[in-house]
Amino acid sequence: MLETGIKGESRVIVSEHNTAIRMGSGDLEVFATPSMVALMEHAAMTAVAPHLPEGSTTVGALMNTTHVKPSKMGAQITATAELTSVEGRKLTFRVSASDEVGVIGEGEHIRYVVDRMKFMAKLQ
């Protein structure tokens, strides 16, 4: 059962694999915005996964976020997601990401609950 207040968390260490230069979103060796967004999505996805009906998952539909501070190589990034609204299949989350110094980004993320088989059938 999906109820507001469900929270999730996801972590990663800044490495050569998730920098702006590696992701193609910039030319500096700092934590990439696309990597931050993916980490926020992962936190939201894993927060609600145990509460979904059998055969269901969630898919991301919208991310509205800021990335306000760079994070250096070796920094630990923690993304959090809190379910703030449930409207049928539409789930809205408050998301944020922080490193050891403080908040590096925050925003709102929308996901939809989908049936795995029906969703994948759309690929054909």
- Among 29, 33, 65, 108, which one carries the catalytic annotation? 33
- Among 58, 67, 80, 109, which one carries the catalytic annotation? 67
- Among 19, 41, 80, 109, which one carries the catalytic annotation? 41
Q: Please write down the HEC assignment for all residues of the chain.
A: CCCCCCEEEEEEECCCCCEHHHHCCCCCCCECHHHHHHHHHHHHHHHHHHHCCCCEEEEEEEEEEEECCCCCCCCEEEEEEEEEEEECCEEEEEEEEECCCCEEEEEEEEEEEEEHHHHHHCCC
Please say if 33 is a catalytic residue.
yes
Please say if 67 is a catalytic residue.
yes
Please say if 41 is a catalytic residue.
yes
Order of strands, edge to edge, in the sheet holding 103-115? 7-13, 76-87, 90-98, 103-115, 56-67
Q: Which residues are catalytic?
A: 33, 41, 67
